[in-house]
Amino acid sequence: MSGTGQTVAAIFPGQGAQSVGMLGELASAHASIIERFAEASEVLGFDLWAMVQQGPGEVLGQTENTQPALLVASVCLWDLWQEAGSKVSCMSGHSLGEYSALVCAGAMSFTDGVRLVRKRGELMQAAVPNGQGSMAAVLGLDDEAIAQCCDEVDGEVSAANFNAPGQVVIAGESDAVLAAIDACKAAGAKRAVPLDVSGPFHSQLMRRAADDFADALDSIHVSMPTIPVYQNVHGGVAESVDALKHLLVEQLYSPVRWKTCVQALLDNGVGQFVECGPGNVLAGLVKRISRATPTLSLASEDGIAAANVL
């Protein structure tokens, strides 16, 4: 429970929330942000803060760079929020955001988290050569109809993100994704558009990265989080470290069930969401899932101040 008696959930965004210059204004007032990025840069062997502030966007948008940049940004905002002693009852993160949540919940150290998501990004990028895989957003068509459209076309394509009612992302082989876009439009989708991403994330094509990623995960210390983290694969909380790690590996090639995660948090009494990351991508999704439940974003001083009184 928070100071206002509400049950508060922290939610952490994934790829797509990044932007060149993010946290720049906050960093001028909070030295801890620069310190966190310096710590991450030491691990990575390059100046992550310079990349985040100066870009170019194409470099920041490369998966192996985006993942550590977003994790560090999210942890920085968590740090600022927790300075006021705010109470969070539970957490979830969208794709990469699951790792930010686990770091903030003490399941892995900050430096191990940075190292791990950098490796995760490299493995995901290497799993499918550029141009051979893609993703697309499908709006205004129910989940079952989208699954049927994917099944009907030739090649590998499937649902990758169940983000909100009427908002699903599909992923797979590039030609199969294009065919599925046409099939979804024919089935009545309001929109079906390719996404500007570098690979078919959360599809079966990512299984190629699973073994190497499992090895990377085994090389770091993982413990049970001090705050329950609802994981993407099934929308529930792991009951052991082994189960938690298994779900992280499975998440590479399984759909992100964000709608299920948010609903599980709501079912467990959450009355306030706080988006712990740059931007407000998840706030928009939460509004589509549960219009009545408020969501704050920590991406500004005003947001941090508002969250501090929860």
Q: What angle do CA 53, 54, 56 make, to 5 degrees?
A: 125
List, as own/partner pairs, every contact residues 238-245 make where C-beta atoms lie below 8 angstroms and the sequence separation is at least 24, other chains included: 244/102, 244/107, 245/214, 245/217, 245/218
> How far is 42 from 39, CA to CA, in rounded Å?
5
Closest among 90, 73, 191 to 140, alpha carbons compared: 191
* Encoded tokens for 308: 């501090």
| Strands (E) located in the chain | 7-12, 90-93, 133-139, 157-164, 167-173, 191-194, 229-230, 270-275, 295-297
Count of alpha carbons within 13 angstroms of residue 194, beta-carbon side: 17
- From the list 41, 74, 86, 95, the catalytic residue is 95
Beta bridge partners of 170: 136, 159
Burial 123-144 (b: 16+ CB within 10 A, else e): bbbebbeeeebbbbbbeebeee
> How far is 246 from 243, CA to CA, in rounded Å?
5
202 is catalytic: yes
174 is catalytic: no
- From the list 202, 203, 254, 297, the catalytic residue is 202
> How far is 69 from 51, CA to CA, in rounded Å?
9
Q: Are 276 and 78 in contact (CB under 8 A)?
A: yes
Q: Are 172 and 158 in contact (CB under 8 A)?
A: yes
Give just the sign of the alpha carbon dihedral 73, 111, 81, 50: negative
Catalytic annotation, residues: 95, 202
